[in-house]
Amino acid sequence: MLDDFFIRALLGGIGIALVSGPLGCFIVWRRMAYFGETMSHAALLGISLSLMMDLMPFWGVFAVSIAIAMALYGLEKLDRLSSDTLLGILSHASLSIGLIALGFMAWLRVDVMSLLFGDILSITRGDLALIWGGGILVLGLLLFHWRSLLAATVSQDIASAEGLPTKQANLVFILLIALVIAVAMKLIGALLITSLLIIPAASARQFARSPEMMALLAAILACLSAILGLNMSMIWDSNPGPSIVLGAFMLFLLSLAIAPLVRALRPPQR
């Protein structure tokens, strides 16, 4: 069965979707969409460095994502520029440096379009092992730190007063985002990774009545986005990465349309 490239693409897309949905909920709750965008743009710089040093792209992307996150943390302490300004600077600078570095490596034939928009149809069995292995690790850590992350999202001060390890949980959260971006880079590309984190979570928010329900719905909607996008790609002969994002956007529009009806039919809470 795994000899079929489309089946491998489906399994890879679903594996990433199961992780990106719940993780994306925290990005939506914390209003960190621009942070996720910065991390995904930095992924291209990670690819460039890994090619220069003859390393697996995964390690380069993961290392650069962590470095960008730590640089943002340090710059914010200077209190000279707002966080969104710093994110914009780091985002575009890392993306530009990555593209320039790729241009200098004339001895390599690099498909820039696949780096920017992904190439999910070319994933191998080894990629599937990395996706599902990394996904299990991410979900396990997310579940372990769920209470601390949720409390810190509501109020850092209250969470600290209750003795919850908020600093440790926030660091783990950054590591998880970096890990998901590193794993998902090959599937949907540097420019589209954040969309799979944000759009299903935003759709799930229309219906969820609890954080846990929103995380579950986001995972389901992300999986549906991957399945819908890949099928549209096969039918229209379009790029799979953007097609998956389009599938997520279509589900988001559908959620906006039917959410008022669902809320009207829902029995009132006591």
Question: What would the pLDDT profile of 207-222 be if each residue is shown by its tens digit?
Answer: 888 889 999 999 999 9
Total domains in the chain come to: 1
CA 97 to CA 105: how far, in whole Å? 13
Structural domain includes residue 265: no
Per-residue pLDDT, 253: 94
Which tokens is 9 given?
Answer: 């693409």
Reported residue count of the chain is: 270
Tell me which residue of 12, 19, 31, 5 sits closest to 222, measured CA to CA.
19
CB 21 within 8 A of CB 201: yes
Q: Is 142 domain-assigned?
A: yes
Q: Report which residue type is found at 260.
A: P
The predicted structure's pLDDT at residue 59: 81
Domain containing 24 equals 5-191
Measuring CA to CA, which residue among 203, 215, 197, 219 is closest to residue 255? 203
Give a yes or no: residue 250 inside a domain: no
Q: How many other C-beta atoms are found inside a 10 Å radius of the C-beta of residue 39?
A: 32
- Residue given tokens 């969104």 in the structure block: 84
Q: What is the mean pLDDT of residues 93-116?
A: 74
131 in any annotated domain: yes
| Domain assignment present for 197 | no
In this predicted structure, what is the pLDDT of residue 70? 77
* CA-based nearest residue to 52, from 103, 127, 95: 103
Query: Does residue 23 belong to any structural domain of this protein?
Result: yes
With b for 16 or more beta-carbon neighbours within 10 A and e for fewer, the 242-261 pattern comes to: bbbbbbbebbbeebeeeeee
Cα 197 to Cα 133: distance, rounded to the nearest angstrom = 19
Both tokens of 224, joined, read 């549906």
Helix/strand/coil for 38: helix
* Percent of the residues in the chain that have a pLDDT greater than 70, as a whole number: 87
Residue 87: the pLDDT is 77
Q: Is there a domain that residue 220 lies in?
A: no
CATH number, domain with residue 52 = 1.10.3470.10
Distance CA 177, CA 188 (A): 15
Task: Answer yes or no: is 9 within a domain.
Answer: yes
Contacts of 233 (CB under 8 A, 6+ apart): 121, 239, 240, 243, 244
**Residue-wise pLDDT tens digits, 4-46:** 888 888 998 899 999 999 999 988 888 877 777 787 778 778 8
**In angstroms, what CA-CA distances link 99 with 46, 143, 179?**
11, 36, 21
Rounded-to-integer distance, Cα 23 and Cα 258, Å: 24
pLDDT for res 250: 94
- CA dist 180 and 202 (Å) reads 18
Count of beta carbons in the 10 Å neighbourhood of residue 193: 29
